[in-house]
């Protein structure tokens, strides 16, 4: 504690710590620890904010994920159409109810067969 006589001799207490005859006295360890803790907390908040923007689940990753999702949905639609086309072709090849035109087309293309009344013209 200071009294009026100490203050008159040049010792005074300021906001930034103790000052004695124009020189600063070292800050208290608690104050230094508190400022280091506040600095660590600020760095932590900044790190979390940066991760929220550019991290693996951040805003930029969301945009990439949305773009990938749209691409994969389009690819899925194409694959479903292909599957439906193949399923229709399998239904047409059902032995109990085969489509004669399709059976003839497949025989000609895959087995190189022809009817006796057909004329084969080779491509050269």
pLDDT at residue 19 greater than cutoff 70:
no
Distances in Å between the Cα of 13 and the Cα atoms of 3, 24, 30, 120 are: 11, 10, 17, 113
Whether 117 shows a pLDDT value over 90: the answer reads no
d(CA 107, CA 93): 12
Q: 25 with 44, same domain? A: yes
Per the domain annotation, does 9 fall within a domain? no
Is the pLDDT confidence value at 2 over 70?
no
pTM of the model: 0.43
Q: Do 98 and 116 lie in a common domain?
A: yes
Ranges 21-25, 72-76, 86-90, most confident: 72-76
67 and 121 in a common domain = yes
On whether both 24 and 73 belong to a single domain, the answer is: no
User: How many Å apart are CA 22 and CA 44, to the nearest integer?
Assistant: 37
User: What residue numbers bound the domain in which 121 lies?
Assistant: 61-124
Distance CA(40)–CA(46), nearest Å, equals 10
pLDDT tens digit string along 35-78?
888 999 999 999 988 888 887 777 778 888 899 999 999 999 99
In a domain, 10, yes or no: no
Instruction: Clarify whether residues 43 and 73 are in a common domain.
Output: no
Does 116 lie in the same domain as 68?
Answer: yes
Residues 49, 80, single domain; the answer is no
**Contact present, 31 and 17 (Cβ < 8 Å):** yes
């Amino acid at each position: 504690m200071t009294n009026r006589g100490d203050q008159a001799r040049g010792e005074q207490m300021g906001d930034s710590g103790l000052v004695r005859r124009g020189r600063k006295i070292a800050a208290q360890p608690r104050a230094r620890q508190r400022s280091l803790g506040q600095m660590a907390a600020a760095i932590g908040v900044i790190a979390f904010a940066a991760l929220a923007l550019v991290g693996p689940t951040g805003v930029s990753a969301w945009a990439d994920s949305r773009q990938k999702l749209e691409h994969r949905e389009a690819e899925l639609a194409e694959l479903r159409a292909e599957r439906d086309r193949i399923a229709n072709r399998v239904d047409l090849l059902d032995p109990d109810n085969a489509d004669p035109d399709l059976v003839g087309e497949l025989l000609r293309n895959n087995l190189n067969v022809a009817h006796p009344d057909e004329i084969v013209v080779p491509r050269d």
